[in-house]
Amino acid sequence: MNFLDIAPSGGMIGAVVAISFFLIFAGTAYIAFKALKKTAKMAVRMVVVVVILAIAVVGSSALWYFSSNATPKLKPPANKRR
């Protein structure tokens, strides 16, 4: 249980989310490539795969960039009124 003492940083969580986003779209591109094997020519198959992989790269880099903000947003302390 010692590994739960330190919370993961936002950058690390963002990197994990970005990698999983990319892997999901890479799997989708592979499935699309195999599914279009008999119905489309190679050029069309490759265009579909390139478009899916481009979405994966742009989306995962955007997720990683926006989640790795170096300055944490601090909230002012709450005022306790009774």
Residue numbers of the domain that contains 57? 9-67
Domain membership of residue 45 (yes or no) is: yes
What's the whole-number mean pLDDT along residues 37-42? 80
Domain membership of residue 4 (yes or no) is: no
Domain membership of residue 63 (yes or no) is: yes
Length of the chain: 82
Domain count, the chain: 1
Q: Is the pLDDT of residue 82 over 70?
A: no
What's the whole-number mean pLDDT along residues 59-63? 84
Residues 65, 17: contact at Cβ < 8 Å? no
Domain membership of residue 73 (yes or no) is: no
Residues 22, 57: contact at Cβ < 8 Å? yes
The pLDDT score that the predictor gives to residue 51 is 92
For 14-23, the pLDDT digits (tens) are 778 888 888 8
Neighbours of 56 (CB within 10 A): 20
pTM: 0.61
